[in-house]
Amino acid sequence: MLRNALLFAFITLSPAVAGAAPCGQRVDFIEYLHTAYDESPVTRGYTVDGGIIEILASKSGTWTVIVTAPSGTTCGIAAGESWFPIPENKAQSLDTALR
């Protein structure tokens, strides 16, 4: 909870863009998350409307999800602890089990 409060306090809120989500410039998010939590991007994907969704994570297990809109505005949408990658063979097994 404190982690989210610090993230919210650092990044300017832009309710018009994303409700109560903290929003700002991507470079500010990346710099802050790297400095404060040692998080770096671990994966990203493009949305159908041309945005980018990214997950940043640290070796200690903290993680943050950010979304950058086509306009360039970036918003933090989730953060937490205990991040761990799923090995490919287990991911395939999980995918099969969920069908």
pLDDT tens-digit series, residues 24-37: 999 999 999 999 99
pLDDT of residue 97: 60
What is the value of pTM for the model shown?
Answer: 0.70
Give DSSP secondary structure letters for 53-95: EEEEE-TTS-EEEEEE-TTSEEEEEEEES---PPPHHHHHHHH
Confidence of residue 20 (pLDDT cuts 50, 70, 90): low
pLDDT of residue 90: 65
pLDDT of residue 77: 92
The residues with which 36 forms a beta bridge, in sequence order, are none
Average pLDDT over the chain reads 79
